[in-house]
Amino acid sequence: MVSATGVRVRHVTPNDADRWLALRAALWPEEDEASLTGAVDRFFTEPHRTPGLMPEAVLIAEVEEPAPTLVGFAEVSRRPYAEGCDTTPVGFLEGWYVVPEHRCKGVGRALVAASENWARELGCSEFASDALADNVVSAEAHRALGFEEVEIIRCFRKDL
């Protein structure tokens, strides 16, 4: 799918693995390289993508400049439940990233629209996402795309 902004959104392929990995590292810089690489490898080697496994699909955004360049991705899944949702399964935006120089140009919007279509085609009637409570930029981006904020939670843990 090519949007009006010249962004092509498509499913990730093994040929995209290195660039997708680099984009994941930019989104989740606190993750170690082995963990990020393992997730990419598993995605391509374990093709049984069913609800509850993350991600079930990865959509990438590509622009021509002058050669095709990956500038963003969306990792999506179906969850049995998401805060504020009434149906199951719920399409869920697990990870969403656009390189800084391509933000506010319709890339993120194209990725989310394609993600919503993916979920709709699999029978989902609701789509959800989350962001850290202090990530104001992400919250604003979600609102700009029609998401409704339904809850803010704090998560706790302790060693046993």
Domain-by-domain residue ranges, the chain?
A: 8-144
Q: Taking a C-beta distance cutoff of 8 angstroms, is the pair 60, 20 a contact?
A: yes
pLDDT confidence of residue 82? 92
Q: In order along the chain (160 residues), what is the average pLDDT of each group of 10 residues?
A: 74 96 96 93 81 85 88 95 93 95 94 97 95 91 93 86
Peptide bond into 14 cis (omega under 30): no
pTM for this entry: 0.90
Q: What confidence score (pLDDT) does residue 65 get? A: 79
CA dihedral 70, 135, 115, 49 (to 10 degrees): 90
What is the CATH number assigned to the segment(s) 8-144? Answer: 3.40.630.30
Q: How confident is the model at residue 16, as a pLDDT?
A: 96
- Sheet containing strand 90-98, strands side by side: 8-11, 57-64, 68-79, 90-98, 127-129
Helix axis angle, 33-45 to 17-27, nearest 10°: 140
Q: What local confidence, expressed as pLDDT, does residue 87 receive? A: 95
Report the residue count for the chain: 160
Region of residue 146 (phi > 0: left; psi between -120 and 50: alpha; otherwise: beta): left
What pLDDT shows up at residue 48? 66
